[in-house]
Structure 1
C-alpha cells in the first residue's frame, strides 16, 4: 500500500518504540478514535513490546525494521527521541507507510525538507504530532482574533516551562536531540505562528546552559511580523510549571492558561478583557491527543497526502532561534541498531 487511501477497513497502525509518551498518552487515546486499529508495537526488547501489547492490543515485534516490513501495517507512529526521527521516518516512508512522528520531525531543516519531499512524492501522509493545535480552544481564539474581539493584535506573550527532569532524561542528551528549544520551546513558537500567521521572523534570541549539561535548558525569543505585531516566547526545563499565552490588542487582551498540555477531562477557559468588562468563555473538556490521532487517521483514510508547509516553517523558525542565539542546530547522529537507546521519552 504505497500512498493509497485506506478504504473499507480501519487504518492499521504500528508503533516504533515503547516510549513514555506512547504508553502514557497516545495508546490510551487510540482506543477512543474511530477508524484505527493498533496492529503492532515494536521494541528492541521483545518482552517489553509484549508487555505493552498485553495492555493495548496488537502484536509485539522485536526490532523496528521488522515492523516496517509487515504488510498488515498501513501507518506508523514514531515516538523516538528527536535525533532518531529522521532515519526511521525515512525508512517508514520508503516502506510505503504513512507517518505520525513526535515533534520535532527532525533536528535539521534539510532533513525535514527531504522527508516532506519524500512523503509528497510517494503520496503518503506525514504529520508532526503537535497536539495542542487540535484543541478547539485555540481555534476559538483564532476566530476571536479574526473577528476583532480585542481589536488589532499587537503582541503575543507565550511561555511553556517545566521543572527539572531526572538527570538521565533524554532531554539532557545532545546526541539524541535534547535541549529546551527542541522540546518545550516548540510549543510557544508554534502558538505564535498559529495565532499570528507565518510572517513572523526572529529578531533576537537567547539560549542558556547551566554548565553541567551540554544542552540548552532555557531560552527566549523575540519575533516580529507584518504591521509591527510582535511575539515574545520563553521556555525552559528549570522552572515552575508554566503553560500559557496572552494576546494584547488595540482594544483588549485575551488570555489562555494551561494552554499546551491540558488534561483530557479539564474544562478550559478563554478570558477576554475589554474596556467594557471581562468575559470568560467556557469550553467543554477535549482530549487533544485523541484529536491529533483522529486528524491523522482521517487524512490516511482519505488519501489526503502531505503538504508539509507547516512542518518546514516550524523547523526553519527553530533553526533561526538557534542562529540568533549564536548556536547552530546539531547534526543528527548515525542511528544505532534499531535506535533503541532512546526508547524512553
Structure 2
C-alpha cells in the first residue's frame, strides 16, 4: 500500500459482531476506509448499506473481485471461512478474519497456504490480544509480582442463546471450542509465551450436533499447566487467573469487554496469613480499534518477517485446538508433536 493511501475495506456478511463492534471500530482507525458490505440477502444488505453509509454488494464474489477493495473483514460463520478467505486471497485482498479461523487444522493450513502464495496479510481476530489489560498483567509478571507463574485457569461461557443459530450448526463450524474455548487457549499461550507440550480434553455435545461444553488441561514446560473450561449452556463467565509462587493475578472481563468498561485486574498476595488484594490500574479501551490498527500497520509495513510471525501464531493456535479435538475424540492425552 502506498504511503498516504487509505486501506479500503469491505465486509463479507451482515454479522452481529460487525454492526455492534467492527463497523464503529473501523471508523475510528486512521488510514482505514470502510467502503462496502456484501450479503446474499439483498434486502438485508440494502438495509445495512443505507444504515452505515456503505456500498452494497449482492454477493461475496462481487465484493472480493472489486479492484477498488484492498482488504476484507470476514465475520462469517467459521464453517464458511475457508472458502471465502481463500477466494479473497486469490484476489490479492488483505484479510482480517474472525476467530476461530478454521474448523480444523487442515482448513487453517489451506487458508494460510493461499494467503502466503498471494503474499497477503492474514489476521485471526483475537481482539483481546490488543487490550491493554493483558499488558498490565504481563508487566506484573515481569516485575515479579506473583513470582513464577505456575497455573493459568480460565472460564469463558454463557447461557443458552436464543434461537441457537450458527453456533449450534456443525456444517457452519459451530461448537463451544471454536467459539469460546479458543480464547482461553489463546490467552494461556500468550501469558506463558510458549506452546503447550500436551493436551487432555473433554468435549460434550449434550443433545446437539456440536460441543456445547468443554474443558482441557494444557501442559507447558517446567511443570506449568493451564486449566480451561468453556460452554454455551453455562452461567456467564469471562475471566482468567494466573497463579504464581508468590501471588495470583485475576482478570474479571478477560475476553469480551465493552470499550467503556474499566478493566477489573486484581493482584492477590499473602501477608502474615492474610490475603491482600490490590487493584491494578488500566484505562478502558476499544480492543477492536486497537487490533484493527495493528492490522493496518502490518499491511503498511509489508514486512515478510512480520507477516510470518502472524502466520506462525495462527498455525500454533490451530494445532492446539486440533489436539483438544483429538484428545476428546480418542479419550487420551495428546502430545503436540503428534499434531502436524
TM-score between the two structures when normalised by the length of structure 1: 0.90
Structure 1 counterpart of 2:85, from 67, 83, 89: 89
Deviation at residue 28 of structure 1 after TM alignment? 1.6
Q: 1:43-62 residue pairs with structure 2 within 5 A?
A: 43-62=39-58
Q: 1:263-274 residue pairs with structure 2 within 5 A?
A: 263-274=258-269
In structure 2, what is the Cα distance between the partners aligned to 1:204 and 1:41? Answer: 41
Residues 122-143 of structure 1 show CA distances to partners (whole Å, capped at 9, x for unaligned) of 2211000111011011122122
Deviation at residue 95 of structure 1 after TM alignment? 0.2
Q: C-alpha root-mean-square deviation of aligned residues, in Å?
A: 1.5
In structure 2, what is the Cα distance between the partners aligned to 1:181 and 1:6? Answer: 39
Q: 2:277 corresponds to which residue?
A: 278
Change (3 A) 1:6 1:52: farther
Please state whether the residue corresponding to 2:264 is helix, strand or coil: strand
Please state whether the residue corresponding to 1:181 is helix, strand or coil: helix
Structure with the greater relative contact order (CA < 8 A, sep ≥ 6): 1 or 2? 1
In structure 2, what is the Cα distance between the partners aligned to 1:217 and 1:193? Answer: 23
Change (3 A) 1:288 1:205: same
Higher helix share: 2
Off by >6 Å, runs of 4+ in structure 1: none
- Does the 8 A contact of 1:202 with 1:324 survive in 2? no
Deviation at residue 6 of structure 1 after TM alignment? 4.0
- Does the 8 A contact of 2:253 with 2:264 survive in 1? no
- Does the 8 A contact of 2:201 with 2:217 survive in 1? yes
Q: 2:249 corresponds to which residue?
A: 254
Residues 70-122 of structure 1 show CA distances to partners (whole Å, capped at 9, x for unaligned) of 11100000111001100100000000000001111111212212322332232
Please state whether the residue corresponding to 2:84 is helix, strand or coil: helix
The answer to whether residue 136 in structure 2 is matched with residue 140 in structure 1 is yes
Q: 1:290-305 residue pairs with structure 2 within 5 A?
A: 290-305=289-304
Worse-matched range after superposition: 197-206 or 95-104? 197-206
TM-score between the two structures when normalised by the length of structure 2: 0.91
Q: 1:1-345 residue pairs with structure 2 within 5 A?
A: 5-211=1-207, 213-276=208-271, 277-305=276-304, 306-307=307-308, 308-326=311-329
In structure 2, what is the Cα distance between the partners aligned to 1:242 and 1:202? Answer: 25
How many residue pairs get aligned? The number is 323
Worse-matched range after superposition: 298-307 or 221-230? 298-307
Deviation at residue 145 of structure 1 after TM alignment? 1.5
Q: 2:338 corresponds to which residue?
A: none
In structure 2, what is the Cα distance between the partners aligned to 1:165 and 1:10? Answer: 38
Q: 2:334 corresponds to which residue?
A: none
Worse-matched range after superposition: 65-74 or 202-211? 202-211
In structure 2, what is the Cα distance between the partners aligned to 1:217 and 1:50? Answer: 34
Deviation at residue 327 of structure 1 after TM alignment? 6.1
Structure 1 unmatched runs, 5+:
329-345
Please state whether the residue corresponding to 1:210 is helix, strand or coil: coil
Residues 39-90 of structure 1 show CA distances to partners (whole Å, capped at 9, x for unaligned) of 2111112332221121222211100001111111000001110011001000
